[in-house]
Amino acid sequence: MTNFFITGTDTGVGKTRATITIMAALKNAGFDVVGMKPVASGAQMINGKLINDDAKLIQKQCSHSVSYEAVNPFVFRFPAAPHIAAELEHKSIDHNQIIKNYHALDSASDILIMEGIGGWEMSLNEEYTLPDLVESLNLAVILVVGLRLGCINHAILTAQSIAGRGIKLCGWVSNHLDKEYLTPDQTIMALKKRINCPHIADLPYNPNFDLDNLSTKVSPAFISQI
């Protein structure tokens, strides 16, 4: 089966919201699903361990019990781009450890969903990027577009960058960030014409994070093709 990488047009566009929504939809369809957020920045110390809220949500949504460290092997206190956060804490990100965790989780599940950090073009260290990781693991990409001013440009450029690496962009998700945004329908229509992959979910503005409702927004056609 295909495993997926969730990327976004920027930071704060709803990647985690989309990740656990898709995980829930796949679980409801009968799949055994696990998730990863291999690198996270912006964390707090809980019981002597740094914990990132997004990674914890992904861990909780896994079909079976997995350790936090398996889901999120690299976590940093400072909210910054991964290689910068690592440098500030005098640490490094070993992509080989991420790949090791990935294979361990993948071997015990039907589908693995990996969430990125920030936008698409993120560096993990001086020599290795998130796109390098996606390419090496042969993951299909799902692009999350946060509906706000500027998102059309960001979405098209991100889709072009993914395609330029020869990586499969298998779908995109629109996420309503702001109930005051005036042109969501027009924005979605514009992107449907410009992004060459299916629109697999439209996540409504929902400050209460009703996961049962959100999971119904994932296209049945997308799930049936897995």
Residue 114's pLDDT is 98
Q: How far apart are CA 21 and CA 94, in angstroms?
A: 28
At a CB cut-off of 8 Å and minimum separation 6, what does 151 contact? 9, 13, 145, 187
pLDDT of the chain along its 226 residues, tens only? 799 999 999 999 999 999 999 999 999 999 999 999 999 999 999 999 999 999 999 999 999 999 999 999 999 999 999 999 999 999 999 999 999 999 999 999 999 999 999 999 999 999 999 999 999 999 999 999 999 999 999 999 999 999 999 999 999 999 999 889 999 999 999 999 999 999 999 999 987 888 999 999 999 999 999 9
Residue 206's pLDDT is 82
Pairing of strands 44-46, 199-203: unpaired
Instruction: Write the pLDDT tens digit of every residue in 128-183.
Output: 999 999 999 999 999 999 999 999 999 999 999 999 999 999 999 999 998 899 99
Active-site pick, 27, 37, 56, 179:
37
Q: How far apart are CA 180 and CA 185, in angstroms?
A: 13
Alpha-carbon distances of 149 from 30, 76, 117, 157, 187, rounded to whole Å:
37, 30, 21, 15, 9
Residue 198's pLDDT is 98
Residue 27 annotated as catalytic = no
Q: How far apart are CA 5 and CA 223, in angstroms?
A: 15
Q: How far apart are CA 223 and CA 226, in angstroms?
A: 6
Domain boundaries along the sequence of the chain: 4-31+95-224
Q: Smallest Cα–Cα separation from 38: which of 6, 89, 74, 81? A: 74
Question: CATH homologous superfamily for 4-31+95-224?
Answer: P-loop containing nucleotide triphosphate hydrolases (3.40.50.300)
Distance of CA 186 to the CA centre of its chain: 25
